[in-house]
A = this chain, B = another copy of it.
Amino acid sequence: MTTVYDVARVAGVSTATVSRVVRGSSLVHPDTRDRVLAVVEALGFVPDASAQGLSRRRKDIIGFVALERAAGEMDIERGTLLFADQIVHAAEAVLRGTGYSLLLTFGGRGEQFERRVRALSGKVDGLLVAEEIMAVDDLRALAERIPVVMIAGRPDETGLDVIAADNRSGMTALVDHLVGEHGNRRLCLVSGPKDAPDATARQAAFEAAVLAGPGSVVEQVIHGDFSESSGQAAARVLLDRPRSASRRALPDAVVCANDQMAIGVLRGLQRAGVAIPGDVALTGFDDLYPSHLIDPPLTTVSQPVRELADRAARRLLARIEDRSLPPRAEILPTTAVIRVSCGCPGQ
Protein backbone atom coordinates (compact mmCIF):
# COMPACT_ATOMS: atom_id res chain seq x y z
CA MET A 1 0.00 0.00 0.00
CA THR A 2 1.53 3.30 -0.99
CA THR A 3 1.58 6.03 1.62
CA VAL A 4 2.26 9.72 1.80
CA TYR A 5 5.85 8.86 2.60
CA ASP A 6 6.25 7.02 -0.66
CA VAL A 7 4.76 9.86 -2.59
CA ALA A 8 6.89 12.39 -0.73
CA ARG A 9 10.07 10.50 -1.42
CA VAL A 10 9.41 10.03 -5.11
CA ALA A 11 8.25 13.58 -5.61
CA GLY A 12 11.11 14.95 -3.57
CA VAL A 13 8.98 16.83 -1.09
CA SER A 14 7.87 16.42 2.49
CA THR A 15 4.82 14.51 3.57
CA ALA A 16 3.31 17.78 4.65
CA THR A 17 3.35 19.00 1.10
CA VAL A 18 1.87 15.79 -0.18
CA SER A 19 -0.89 16.06 2.32
CA ARG A 20 -1.52 19.65 1.38
CA VAL A 21 -1.73 18.80 -2.28
CA VAL A 22 -4.02 15.87 -1.76
CA ARG A 23 -6.32 17.79 0.51
CA GLY A 24 -6.34 20.69 -1.90
CA SER A 25 -4.71 23.29 0.29
CA SER A 26 -3.93 26.54 -1.43
CA LEU A 27 -0.49 27.08 0.00
CA VAL A 28 1.36 24.99 -2.52
CA HIS A 29 3.22 26.23 -5.52
CA PRO A 30 1.47 25.19 -8.72
CA ASP A 31 4.59 23.50 -10.05
CA THR A 32 5.00 21.49 -6.88
CA ARG A 33 1.37 20.61 -6.93
CA ASP A 34 1.55 19.27 -10.43
CA ARG A 35 4.64 17.24 -9.66
CA VAL A 36 3.06 15.71 -6.60
CA LEU A 37 -0.18 15.04 -8.38
CA ALA A 38 1.70 13.23 -11.11
CA VAL A 39 3.37 11.01 -8.55
CA VAL A 40 0.08 10.40 -6.78
CA GLU A 41 -1.38 9.30 -10.06
CA ALA A 42 1.59 7.17 -11.01
CA LEU A 43 1.70 5.41 -7.68
CA GLY A 44 -2.06 5.11 -7.41
CA PHE A 45 -1.99 6.68 -4.01
CA VAL A 46 -5.23 6.81 -2.05
CA PRO A 47 -5.04 8.21 1.46
CA ASP A 48 -5.91 5.80 4.20
CA ALA A 49 -9.17 6.86 5.74
CA SER A 50 -8.29 5.46 9.14
CA ALA A 51 -5.18 7.56 9.37
CA GLN A 52 -7.04 10.58 8.12
CA GLY A 53 -9.83 9.97 10.51
CA LEU A 54 -7.50 9.62 13.41
CA SER A 55 -5.62 12.72 12.57
CA ARG A 56 -8.52 14.92 11.63
CA ARG A 57 -10.87 13.57 14.23
CA ARG A 58 -13.46 13.07 11.62
CA LYS A 59 -14.30 9.94 9.73
CA ASP A 60 -16.49 11.33 7.01
CA ILE A 61 -18.91 8.53 7.59
CA ILE A 62 -22.37 8.66 8.96
CA GLY A 63 -24.27 5.65 10.15
CA PHE A 64 -27.80 4.58 9.48
CA VAL A 65 -29.62 2.18 11.74
CA ALA A 66 -32.95 0.69 10.81
CA LEU A 67 -35.20 -2.22 11.51
CA GLU A 68 -34.60 -5.29 9.45
CA ARG A 69 -37.73 -7.03 8.45
CA ALA A 70 -37.85 -10.41 10.05
CA ALA A 71 -37.25 -13.38 7.83
CA GLY A 72 -40.94 -14.11 7.93
CA GLU A 73 -41.97 -10.71 6.75
CA MET A 74 -39.48 -10.92 3.95
CA ASP A 75 -41.80 -12.89 1.75
CA ILE A 76 -44.74 -10.75 2.48
CA GLU A 77 -42.74 -7.71 1.65
CA ARG A 78 -41.04 -9.25 -1.29
CA GLY A 79 -40.86 -6.80 -4.05
CA THR A 80 -41.79 -3.73 -2.14
CA LEU A 81 -39.48 -0.87 -1.55
CA LEU A 82 -39.28 -0.47 2.12
CA PHE A 83 -39.31 2.58 4.16
CA ALA A 84 -35.72 1.97 5.12
CA ASP A 85 -34.56 1.55 1.58
CA GLN A 86 -36.11 4.79 0.53
CA ILE A 87 -34.44 6.52 3.40
CA VAL A 88 -31.13 5.01 2.47
CA HIS A 89 -31.39 6.32 -1.04
CA ALA A 90 -32.44 9.77 0.01
CA ALA A 91 -29.81 10.08 2.70
CA GLU A 92 -27.12 8.82 0.40
CA ALA A 93 -28.14 11.41 -2.16
CA VAL A 94 -27.63 14.18 0.35
CA LEU A 95 -24.31 12.83 1.45
CA ARG A 96 -23.10 12.28 -2.05
CA GLY A 97 -21.88 15.78 -2.57
CA THR A 98 -20.31 16.13 0.83
CA GLY A 99 -17.60 13.52 1.02
CA TYR A 100 -19.47 11.63 3.67
CA SER A 101 -20.43 8.03 3.13
CA LEU A 102 -23.31 6.05 4.53
CA LEU A 103 -22.63 3.08 6.76
CA LEU A 104 -25.58 0.94 7.57
CA THR A 105 -26.80 -1.68 9.94
CA PHE A 106 -30.12 -3.35 10.17
CA GLY A 107 -31.46 -5.17 13.11
CA GLY A 108 -34.04 -5.20 15.78
CA ARG A 109 -34.14 -4.65 19.46
CA GLY A 110 -32.04 -7.02 21.48
CA GLU A 111 -28.80 -7.24 23.38
CA GLN A 112 -26.85 -8.22 20.34
CA PHE A 113 -28.21 -5.31 18.44
CA GLU A 114 -27.35 -2.75 21.07
CA ARG A 115 -23.82 -3.99 20.98
CA ARG A 116 -23.62 -3.70 17.26
CA VAL A 117 -24.90 -0.18 17.28
CA ARG A 118 -22.44 0.67 19.97
CA ALA A 119 -19.55 -0.67 17.96
CA LEU A 120 -20.94 1.09 14.95
CA SER A 121 -20.88 4.35 16.80
CA GLY A 122 -17.11 4.15 16.89
CA LYS A 123 -16.97 4.08 13.14
CA VAL A 124 -19.06 7.11 12.37
CA ASP A 125 -19.35 10.84 12.92
CA GLY A 126 -23.08 10.75 13.45
CA LEU A 127 -26.03 8.44 13.45
CA LEU A 128 -29.36 8.40 11.68
CA VAL A 129 -31.81 6.22 13.54
CA ALA A 130 -35.00 5.14 11.84
CA GLU A 131 -38.18 4.55 13.75
CA GLU A 132 -38.31 3.46 17.29
CA ILE A 133 -35.66 0.91 17.02
CA MET A 134 -33.98 1.44 20.32
CA ALA A 135 -34.97 2.18 23.85
CA VAL A 136 -34.96 5.89 24.50
CA ASP A 137 -32.37 5.52 27.23
CA ASP A 138 -29.94 3.81 24.93
CA LEU A 139 -30.53 6.48 22.37
CA ARG A 140 -29.79 9.21 24.86
CA ALA A 141 -26.61 7.47 25.91
CA LEU A 142 -25.60 7.26 22.29
CA ALA A 143 -26.44 10.86 21.67
CA GLU A 144 -24.13 11.89 24.42
CA ARG A 145 -21.20 10.55 22.51
CA ILE A 146 -22.09 11.35 18.95
CA PRO A 147 -24.75 13.33 17.12
CA VAL A 148 -27.94 11.37 16.62
CA VAL A 149 -30.97 12.26 14.55
CA MET A 150 -34.10 10.17 14.69
CA ILE A 151 -36.29 9.65 11.69
CA ALA A 152 -39.97 9.09 12.22
CA GLY A 153 -39.70 8.45 15.91
CA ARG A 154 -42.21 9.91 18.21
CA PRO A 155 -41.35 13.57 18.53
CA ASP A 156 -41.66 13.45 22.25
CA GLU A 157 -39.55 14.92 24.95
CA THR A 158 -36.50 12.82 24.29
CA GLY A 159 -34.43 15.90 23.89
CA LEU A 160 -33.13 14.52 20.64
CA ASP A 161 -33.34 15.73 17.11
CA VAL A 162 -36.33 14.17 15.45
CA ILE A 163 -37.70 14.46 11.96
CA ALA A 164 -41.10 12.91 11.76
CA ALA A 165 -44.24 12.93 9.72
CA ASP A 166 -47.52 14.12 11.02
CA ASN A 167 -50.19 11.48 10.70
CA ARG A 168 -52.97 13.94 11.20
CA SER A 169 -52.83 16.25 8.23
CA GLY A 170 -53.01 13.55 5.59
CA MET A 171 -55.67 11.58 7.37
CA THR A 172 -57.78 14.67 7.82
CA ALA A 173 -57.48 15.59 4.16
CA LEU A 174 -58.35 12.04 3.22
CA VAL A 175 -61.47 11.91 5.35
CA ASP A 176 -62.52 15.34 4.17
CA HIS A 177 -62.22 14.10 0.63
CA LEU A 178 -64.20 10.96 1.33
CA VAL A 179 -66.92 12.84 3.13
CA GLY A 180 -66.89 16.09 1.22
CA GLU A 181 -66.27 14.99 -2.35
CA HIS A 182 -67.83 11.59 -2.35
CA GLY A 183 -70.53 12.11 0.19
CA ASN A 184 -69.55 9.08 2.24
CA ARG A 185 -71.20 9.15 5.63
CA ARG A 186 -70.74 5.81 7.28
CA LEU A 187 -67.02 5.14 7.61
CA CYS A 188 -65.08 2.22 9.03
CA LEU A 189 -61.46 2.20 10.09
CA VAL A 190 -59.15 -0.75 9.89
CA SER A 191 -56.67 0.33 12.50
CA GLY A 192 -53.36 -1.09 13.65
CA PRO A 193 -52.34 -2.62 16.97
CA LYS A 194 -53.53 -0.65 19.97
CA ASP A 195 -50.00 -0.18 21.24
CA ALA A 196 -48.55 1.17 18.01
CA PRO A 197 -48.11 4.93 18.26
CA ASP A 198 -48.69 5.47 14.56
CA ALA A 199 -51.86 3.42 14.70
CA THR A 200 -53.32 5.38 17.57
CA ALA A 201 -52.35 8.69 16.01
CA ARG A 202 -54.00 7.75 12.76
CA GLN A 203 -57.06 6.50 14.53
CA ALA A 204 -57.40 9.66 16.56
CA ALA A 205 -57.04 11.79 13.46
CA PHE A 206 -59.57 9.65 11.68
CA GLU A 207 -62.11 9.90 14.43
CA ALA A 208 -61.66 13.62 14.83
CA ALA A 209 -62.02 14.22 11.11
CA VAL A 210 -65.11 12.07 10.80
CA LEU A 211 -66.65 13.78 13.78
CA ALA A 212 -66.01 17.13 12.18
CA GLY A 213 -67.63 16.12 8.92
CA PRO A 214 -71.23 16.99 8.08
CA GLY A 215 -73.22 14.00 9.18
CA SER A 216 -70.42 11.50 8.93
CA VAL A 217 -70.08 8.78 11.55
CA VAL A 218 -67.51 6.21 12.60
CA GLU A 219 -69.42 3.04 12.14
CA GLN A 220 -66.82 0.59 13.27
CA VAL A 221 -63.15 0.30 14.12
CA ILE A 222 -61.48 -3.02 13.44
CA HIS A 223 -57.99 -3.66 14.72
CA GLY A 224 -55.46 -5.39 12.52
CA ASP A 225 -51.74 -5.81 12.82
CA PHE A 226 -50.65 -3.90 9.72
CA SER A 227 -50.31 -7.09 7.71
CA GLU A 228 -52.12 -7.93 4.53
CA SER A 229 -53.69 -11.00 6.06
CA SER A 230 -55.12 -8.97 8.90
CA GLY A 231 -56.68 -6.82 6.18
CA GLN A 232 -58.30 -9.90 4.74
CA ALA A 233 -59.60 -10.75 8.19
CA ALA A 234 -61.04 -7.27 8.46
CA ALA A 235 -62.79 -7.80 5.14
CA ARG A 236 -64.44 -10.87 6.54
CA VAL A 237 -65.60 -8.93 9.56
CA LEU A 238 -67.11 -6.32 7.29
CA LEU A 239 -68.82 -8.89 5.14
CA ASP A 240 -70.29 -10.64 8.15
CA ARG A 241 -71.94 -7.57 9.54
CA PRO A 242 -75.66 -8.09 9.94
CA ARG A 243 -77.69 -6.02 7.57
CA SER A 244 -80.63 -4.35 9.16
CA ALA A 245 -83.37 -2.09 8.03
CA SER A 246 -81.56 0.92 9.32
CA ARG A 247 -78.26 0.15 7.72
CA ARG A 248 -76.81 -1.81 4.88
CA ALA A 249 -74.18 -4.37 5.66
CA LEU A 250 -71.27 -2.48 4.21
CA PRO A 251 -70.17 1.01 5.12
CA ASP A 252 -69.69 3.74 2.56
CA ALA A 253 -65.96 3.79 2.97
CA VAL A 254 -63.22 1.75 4.61
CA VAL A 255 -60.16 3.65 5.71
CA CYS A 256 -57.09 1.57 6.50
CA ALA A 257 -54.15 2.49 8.68
CA ASN A 258 -51.67 1.27 6.11
CA ASP A 259 -51.48 0.11 2.53
CA GLN A 260 -50.86 -3.52 3.26
CA MET A 261 -54.08 -3.88 5.17
CA ALA A 262 -55.88 -1.95 2.47
CA ILE A 263 -54.67 -4.47 -0.06
CA GLY A 264 -55.90 -7.25 2.16
CA VAL A 265 -59.29 -5.65 2.51
CA LEU A 266 -59.39 -5.06 -1.23
CA ARG A 267 -58.67 -8.69 -2.00
CA GLY A 268 -61.16 -9.89 0.56
CA LEU A 269 -63.99 -7.69 -0.64
CA GLN A 270 -63.31 -8.22 -4.33
CA ARG A 271 -63.33 -11.95 -3.81
CA ALA A 272 -66.79 -11.59 -2.29
CA GLY A 273 -67.98 -9.72 -5.32
CA VAL A 274 -67.89 -6.28 -3.79
CA ALA A 275 -66.84 -3.62 -6.29
CA ILE A 276 -64.19 -1.14 -5.24
CA PRO A 277 -64.86 1.73 -5.40
CA GLY A 278 -68.29 1.07 -6.82
CA ASP A 279 -69.84 -0.43 -3.71
CA VAL A 280 -67.36 0.72 -1.11
CA ALA A 281 -64.63 3.32 -1.14
CA LEU A 282 -61.28 2.15 0.20
CA THR A 283 -58.12 3.94 1.24
CA GLY A 284 -54.68 3.12 2.57
CA PHE A 285 -51.88 4.90 4.32
CA ASP A 286 -48.14 5.22 3.59
CA ASP A 287 -48.05 5.14 -0.18
CA LEU A 288 -45.20 2.68 -0.11
CA TYR A 289 -46.82 0.11 -2.29
CA PRO A 290 -46.50 0.31 -6.03
CA SER A 291 -49.98 1.57 -6.47
CA HIS A 292 -49.92 1.49 -10.23
CA LEU A 293 -49.83 -2.26 -10.05
CA ILE A 294 -52.95 -2.43 -7.97
CA ASP A 295 -56.35 -2.42 -9.52
CA PRO A 296 -57.90 -0.03 -8.72
CA PRO A 297 -55.05 2.35 -7.94
CA LEU A 298 -55.15 2.96 -4.24
CA THR A 299 -56.05 6.30 -2.76
CA THR A 300 -53.82 6.70 0.23
CA VAL A 301 -51.83 9.09 2.37
CA SER A 302 -48.28 9.78 1.34
CA GLN A 303 -45.55 9.91 3.91
CA PRO A 304 -42.84 12.27 2.78
CA VAL A 305 -40.19 9.61 3.24
CA ARG A 306 -37.53 11.06 1.05
CA GLU A 307 -38.09 14.49 2.44
CA LEU A 308 -37.81 13.05 5.92
CA ALA A 309 -34.53 11.41 5.13
CA ASP A 310 -33.24 14.42 3.29
CA ARG A 311 -33.88 16.71 6.19
CA ALA A 312 -32.58 14.27 8.71
CA ALA A 313 -29.33 13.92 6.83
CA ARG A 314 -28.92 17.67 6.58
CA ARG A 315 -29.73 18.13 10.21
CA LEU A 316 -27.18 15.54 11.16
CA LEU A 317 -24.51 17.18 9.07
CA ALA A 318 -25.31 20.50 10.66
CA ARG A 319 -25.07 18.98 14.10
CA ILE A 320 -21.75 17.41 13.30
CA GLU A 321 -20.48 20.83 12.33
CA ASP A 322 -21.84 22.38 15.45
CA ARG A 323 -22.47 20.06 18.33
CA SER A 324 -24.06 22.79 20.37
CA LEU A 325 -27.11 23.19 18.16
CA PRO A 326 -30.27 22.96 20.21
CA PRO A 327 -32.18 19.75 19.47
CA ARG A 328 -35.32 20.25 17.54
CA ALA A 329 -38.30 18.20 16.46
CA GLU A 330 -39.38 18.80 12.92
CA ILE A 331 -42.75 17.57 11.79
CA LEU A 332 -43.56 17.25 8.12
CA PRO A 333 -47.09 17.04 6.85
CA THR A 334 -48.49 13.98 5.16
CA THR A 335 -50.71 14.45 2.16
CA ALA A 336 -53.67 12.64 0.72
CA VAL A 337 -52.94 11.03 -2.62
CA ILE A 338 -56.16 10.74 -4.52
CA ARG A 339 -56.26 7.88 -6.96
CA VAL A 340 -59.16 5.65 -7.86
CA SER A 341 -60.11 3.46 -4.93
CA CYS A 342 -61.92 6.33 -3.24
CA GLY A 343 -64.27 6.69 -6.16
CA CYS A 344 -62.41 9.26 -8.23
CA PRO A 345 -61.96 8.62 -11.92
CA GLY A 346 -58.58 7.28 -12.97
CA GLN A 347 -55.81 9.37 -14.49
How far is B46's CA from A141's CA once the two chains are assembled, in angstroms? Answer: 12
Stretch of A167-175, A287-295, A328-336 that contacts chain B: A287-295
- Count of chain A residues near B, Cβ 8 A: 55
Contact code string A101-131 (vs B, CB < 8 Å = 1, else 0): 1111111000000001011111100000000
Contact code string A90-109 (vs B, CB < 8 Å = 1, else 0): 00110010010111111100
Is there contact, CB below 8 Å, between B102 and A145? Answer: no
* Chain A interface main SS type: mixed
Is there contact, CB below 8 Å, between B81 and A85? Answer: yes
How far is B103's CA from A63's CA once the two chains are assembled, in angstroms? Answer: 9
Shortest CB–CB separation between residue A142 and chain B, in angstroms?
9
Q: Pick the residue among B44, B49, B102, B145 that contacts A104 (CB under 8 A).
A: B102
Stretch of A53-61, A178-186, A212-220, A307-315 that contacts chain B: A53-61
List the B residue with the shortest CB-CB distance to A294: B293
Is there contact, CB below 8 Å, between B50 and A144? Answer: no
Contacts of A68 in B (CB 8 A): 89, 92-93
Contact code string A70-102 (vs B, CB < 8 Å = 1, else 0): 000000011111100100110011001001011
Other A-B contacts than A44-B141, A50-B54, A290-B293, 4 sampled, CB-CB below 8 A, are A46-B145, A61-B123, A99-B119, A103-B104
Report A's interface with B, CB cutoff 8 A.
1, 44, 46-54, 59-61, 63, 68, 77-82, 85, 88-89, 92-93, 96, 99, 101-107, 116, 118-123, 141, 144-145, 263, 288-295
